[in-house]
Chain A
Amino acid sequence: MIRDKKRYMLLETTADIVVEKEELERLVKQAVLSLVGQLGYYDISPKLISVVDKNHIVMRCRLRGYKRMLLVFSLIKRLGSMETGIYTLKSSGTLKALLK
C-alpha cells in the first residue's frame, strides 16, 4: 500500500486561541472547506495535530496540497468569532524536525 506523504506546519495566530482543540479544528476545517471546496479539501486533508500555546498550533496536510494549504492560511482572516491572521512559521515532513 502506498502511503501519502504528509507535511507538518507550525502556525502562529495573531489573536489568542480561546477555544478548545476540537472546536478549533472544526473552525479551521470549515474555513479550508469554504475556500477550496470539497474536491480541493480532499487534496489537502487538513488535521490539527496540537495546540502548542495560545498563539501557536501544529497542522498537518497532504504533501500534494501543501501549496494550496499555504494559500488558504494566507486568506483566512476569521475563525468563528475570532478575527485572526495566520502565519506559517515553519514546515517539515516530520513532526520531530518541526518542533526541534
Chain B
Amino acid sequence: MDYYDLVRTSTGMDESLAKRLGFKSIFVEGKDFYFSRDPGTANGNVMLYSSQKEGAGPYLKNGIRAIAPQDLESVKELQKYVRDMVDYGTAFVIDASIIEMAYGTYRALLMGKMAECTELMIKRNVNICLATLAKSSIENLAAVQLIAIGEALGLEEDEARKAVSSNKHIVVGKGNSSDKR
C-alpha cells in the first residue's frame, strides 16, 4: 500500500524526506490541492472548518471535496453535518497537526471528540483521510506515526492505513477512485 501525506507548506519538503518518512509522495496545498476560502470557491477543494467560520452547509452545497475540522468546537459542530456529508459524498480529513500542536487537557478533549466524530463517520460510511497538514517541518510525521494517531482515534489498523493511502485520490483527486467507500 502506498502512503501519501498532505501539507500546507513546501518549505523543507523534498522527495528524499517523503521517502524517509515512508510516503510515496507528499502533496502541497496551493500546488496539488487547494483550501476553500469561501463557499464560492468550494467546488472540488478542501474546507478548513474552524469555529470562527460560518457553518459547513453552504460549502457542502457548493461541492466541497473534504472537510478538515480545526478545533474542538468545529469537531463538535461537524457531527451535525454527517448526513449532508453522506449525501454530497464529502470526505472527512483528520488533521493530525491540530492534535500534535494542542497541549494538556485541551489535547485530551480534542482527541476524545475527534475519536467520537471518527466513529460516527465510520458508522455512516463517510470517506476518511488522515494527513498531517503540516505548517512546518516540526509538524511533519512519518507514515507509521500517522497510522498510530489514526489508531488512537479509534480506527482499526487497516482503516488507518487506508485513510493515509486514500489522501491522493480523495483530496488531490488523482489515481484510482474505485476503492472509495
Contacts and interface: CB of A to CB of B under 8 A. Distances in A.
A and B are interacting partners? yes
Interface of A: 12, 14, 67, 70-71, 73-75, 77, 83-85, 87-89, 91
B140 A85 contact: yes
Given A67-B148, A87-B142, 13 more contacts: A70-B145, A74-B96, A74-B100, A75-B100, A77-B100, A77-B101, A84-B138, A85-B137, A87-B21, A87-B145, A88-B145, A89-B20, A91-B144
B29 interface: no
B151 A87 contact: no
Interface of B: 20-21, 96, 99-101, 107, 137-142, 144-149, 151-152
B142 A89 contact: yes
Residue from B141, B146, B147, B148 with most neighbouring chain A CB atoms (10 Å): B148
List 10 tightest A-B contacts by C-beta distance, closest first.
A70-B148, A85-B138, A74-B145, A71-B148, A88-B142, A87-B142, A14-B137, A70-B145, A74-B141, A71-B152
A83 B138 contact: yes
A71 to B, nearest CB: 5
A74 B138 contact: no
A85 to B, nearest CB: 4
Chain A facing B: main interface SS = mixed
Contacts of A70: 144-145, 147-148
A62 B141 CA distance: 22
Given A71-B152, A87-B20, A77 B145 contact: no
Contacts of B140: 14, 85, 87
Contacts of A77: 100-101, 138
Nearest to A73: B145
B15 to A, nearest CB: 15
Nearest to B103: A77
24 contacts: A12-B20, A14-B137, A14-B138, A67-B148, A67-B151, A70-B145, A70-B148, A71-B145, A74-B141, A74-B146, A77-B101, A77-B138, A84-B138, A85-B137, A85-B138, A85-B140, A87-B21, A87-B141, A87-B142, A88-B144, A89-B20, A89-B21, A89-B142, A91-B144
A77 B139 CA distance: 8
Contacts of A83: 138
Given A14-B138, A89-B20, A71 B149 contact: yes
A59 to B, nearest CB: 13
Contacts of B151: 67
Contact of B148 (A74, A85, A87): A74
